[in-house]
Amino acid sequence: MNFLQKVKNVVVDSKVLSKTGLLRHSSHFVYQPDAKAPVDGPTQKMNMFQAINQAMDIALEQNESALVFGEDVAFGGVFRCSMGLQKKYGKHRVFNTPLCEQGIAGFAIGVANTGAKAIAEMQFADYIFPAFDQIVNEAAKYRYRSGNLYDCGSLTFRAPCGAVGHGACYHSQSPEAYFAHTPGLKVVVPRGPNKAKGLLLACVKDNDPCIVFEPKTLYRAAVEEVPVAPFESPIGKADILRAGTDITLVGWGTQIHVLQEVANMAKKQLDVSCEVIDLVSILPWDKETICNSVKKTGRVLIAHEAPLTNGFGAELAATIQEECFLHLESPVMRVTGWDTPFPHVFEPFYIPDKHRCLAGIRKLIDY
């Protein structure tokens, strides 16, 4: 019996398919919820898109000038993050825009310049590039070129990013490094519901334009107990999620969950103690926390989904080499996406999964 005949005879049931090895599991990670809530008080079980929805609800409630807008946000958006907000706050505060990212960014800059709290959604991070000029040359430079007479503070862009299992080259990219090269912007990436809510509220109140890249695969996969009350997560501060002595693992967004699983594997299989750090903030980034960890462990592995060349891991690697050179026991290692467009059916071979990261740890220990 050939392969096609075997497939024809398989009952289309997930349990049967998984036994035959034909079922593709799109998630390359096991979600690791935060051990405790960031602040005291009542909590509610939420996934990440619900936490983001609550953060925008709070922002709209606390400031009458706050606006939420973007493609399809009126009915909740493609990921349901703005669900119910137009009904609660009206069409004049939560509304759809034309399919024009450059226009969305230009309008956001204008209303933010008048003092409004602008929360603009780019439906996918892959489509933020038509707005690149507006964000990089206008929003980021507004305060500087006006001599602090005007600014685009209270301007926040939300953009779903990263691998999702089936997004291919136009719905899977991680473009954080493009914007990290721009003074005047702040760029953050949450790892789950608590960080998503805290970072979004911090960005809304910040005096500089901010971009929140939200790993779209976490919208429903990430579930935590989230404080009901408003709270803010500091921008520019990394989180040490697991203390270790032998090697530092650095990542952000979805990749941090891969690294936490890798740390367990390294301890079990190699008896290697890994310190796991979520960078959280891409711009500005927490140089002190990263360098102190590397000076302690002597080895570091940086992992991100974006391509290797000029990915933000390169900036980390350069700084670590400069600041920690005499403490290093092996070269800085990066485990990343490949220097190709993001593939569709070959996504499992593209992403820096636990197996590639564990192989990197072996090389660093054996160096």
pLDDT value at 56 more than 80:
yes
How far apart (Å, rounded) are the C-alpha atoms in residues 242 and 151?
A: 39
DSSP code string of 97-158: --S-HHHHHHHHHHHHHTT--EEEE-S-GGG-GGGHHIIIIIITTHHHHTTTSS--TTEEEE
162-218, pLDDT tens digit by residue?
Answer: 999 889 999 999 999 999 999 999 999 999 999 999 999 999 999 999 999 999 999
| Fold match, 43-227 / 239-366 | yes
Question: 3-state DSSP call for residue 346?
Answer: coil
Q: 346 phi and psi, to 5 degrees?
A: -95, 15
The partner residues of 242 in beta bridges, in order of sequence, read 276
CA distance 10 to 67: 51
pLDDT tens-digit readout, 106-134: 999 999 999 999 999 999 999 999 999 99
Decide: 174 and 228 in contact? Cβ < 8 Å.
no
Report domain extents, the chain.
Answer: 43-227, 239-366
CA torsion 324→326→327→331, rounded to 10°? Answer: 80
Which CATH code for domain 239-366?
3.40.50.920
Q: Is the pLDDT of residue 7 over 60?
A: no
| Residues known to be catalytic | 101, 171
pLDDT reported for residue 14: 36
Q: H-type helices in the chain, by residue range?
A: 3-9, 14-20, 48-62, 85-89, 101-113, 132-133, 142-145, 176-180, 193-205, 218-221, 255-270, 287-297, 312-324, 347-350, 354-366
Q: Is the Cβ–Cβ distance between 97 and 103 less than 8 Å?
A: yes
Query: Cα separation of 195 and 34, whole Å?
Result: 9
CA distance 80 to 103: 22
Mean pLDDT for all residues in the chain: 93
8 A C-beta contact, residue 222 and residue 197: no
In the chain, the percentage of residues whose pLDDT exceeds 70 is 93
Amino acid at 255: Q
- The pLDDT assigned to 145 comes to 93
Per-residue pLDDT, averaged over 324-344, amounts to 97
To the nearest 10 degrees (0 to 180), the angle between helices 312-324 and 287-297 is 60
pLDDT of residue 153: 83
What is the dihedral angle through the alpha carbons of 184, 253, 61, 76, rounded to the nearest 10 degrees?
A: 110
Fold category of 43-227 in CATH: Rossmann fold (3.40.50)
- Mean pLDDT, residues 73-100 taken together: 97
- Rounded Cα–Cα distance for residues 367 and 348 (Å): 27
Note whether 146 and 40 are within 8 A (CB): no
* Residue 231 CB coordination number (10 Å): 19
Q: Running DSSP on this structure, what letter comes out for residue 271?
A: -
Sign, CA torsion 123/128/133/136: positive
Cα–Cα distance measured from residue 88 to residue 49, given in angstroms and rounded to the nearest whole number: 18
Residue 366, phi then psi, degrees to nearest 5: -85, -5
